[in-house]
Amino acid sequence: GAQQSQGMSVEFVDRDVQLPMAYRNTIANMMAEAEAQNGIFAPDEITYAWYRDKGMNRLP
């Protein structure tokens, strides 16, 4: 439940389901409602494409 995320960092990893950036932003922002410290998604090709679209080509 929600108590499991209180004070924690929540990382979302699913190599089979690649959510659009708008969905990721919404889910990560909702972590505040679950009283988590933050919510992050493991980077994948969608993440890298988003950065490239913003002109950031030198990524780690």
Domain ranges of the chain: 2-53
Taking the C-alpha atoms of residue 59 and residue 56, their distance in angstroms, rounded to an integer, is 7
pTM of the model: 0.73
Taking the C-alpha atoms of residue 60 and residue 48, their distance in angstroms, rounded to an integer, is 10
Contact 8, 39 (CB under 8 A): no
Which pLDDT belongs to residue 53? 94
Which pLDDT belongs to residue 55? 93
DSSP state of 58: -
Which pLDDT belongs to residue 2? 65
pLDDT along the chain (60 residues), means of 10: 81 87 92 90 91 87
Which residues sit opposite 11 in a β-bridge?
A: 40
Which pLDDT belongs to residue 22? 94
Which pLDDT belongs to residue 49? 92
